[in-house]
Amino acid sequence: MNDRDILGLDGRVALVTGGGAGIGRATALLLARAGMRVAVAEIDPARAETIRTDLATAGADALVVEADVRREEDVAGLFDALEGRFGRLDVLVNNVGDYLGFKTPFEHSSDEEWEALYAVNLLHIFRVTRRAIPFMRAGGGGSIVNLSTIEAFRGIPMTVVYASFKAAITGFTQSLAVELGADNIRVNAVAPETTNTAQIVATPRVPPANRDAISRWFPIGRFGEAEDSAGAVLFLASDRLSGWVSGTTVHVDGGALAAGAWMRLPDGAGWTHLPIIVADGYTPPEKWHDPLT
């Protein structure tokens, strides 16, 4: 028995939104390696062309559609293309999202900022998922995976609206899992901690004076990589591996949520829950003390 036999995904169809870079790209390529036929929605033309080439090079049966999933008409066109090419959908990965969006005290945030964050972090998930459900039901079931963030499970200052929409993904995931269970449609989420992607180039941004501290910030001493979250998506996509898992969130965070505020001391022998560096480690030093940046 090979890996594809174990996963049970060979020939099935996955749709990954925002699949041109970062976690979305890593997920699309990993699902293709697992034998899936892959559709990708990507807003950026250059990234769309890159992932189209990468999937073709990998020998995948793939469809890449340039689409802004914040727009209902683009979502409709995406599913028309999906139906014309594959005629079914087994796995939906709602990957699109905006890292933090803006950083400001909540009282200074605007309605326009709220609406922009709502569109990219939550509304599009509603729209894409609503279109996906009939496809999955017609095919006898499926798996929906929503990309969230660890910030949905802990407080984060200066990005209150972003974190609120991400927390709403948890409620959406749980309630939809209950609603669709009888249709053999599982709904779960993946919540990464800080991950090196096109949006967040975390490791290189750490000031040299703090770079040695990275190994102490997380129990597994590094920032995340896109492949870490892609692996969690693969697990949740496979009925063979996670067929009785629904309504839950996989925290891909190197143990950070479990650790809370606890970090290793510089000597590696002890622990502290008090700050051991200034700022967050990857905000440029000149902005450390400016609450509006």
Residues recognised as catalytic: 162
CB 118 within 8 A of CB 97: no
DSSP sequence for 211-279 = GGGHHHHSSS-S-EEHHHHHHHHHHHH-HHHHTT--S-EEEESTTHHHHTT-EE-TTSS-EESS--SSS
CB 207 within 8 A of CB 246: no
Helical (H) or strand (E) element with 65 = strand 62-66
CB 282 within 8 A of CB 206: yes
The tokens describing 123, both together, are 């509304």
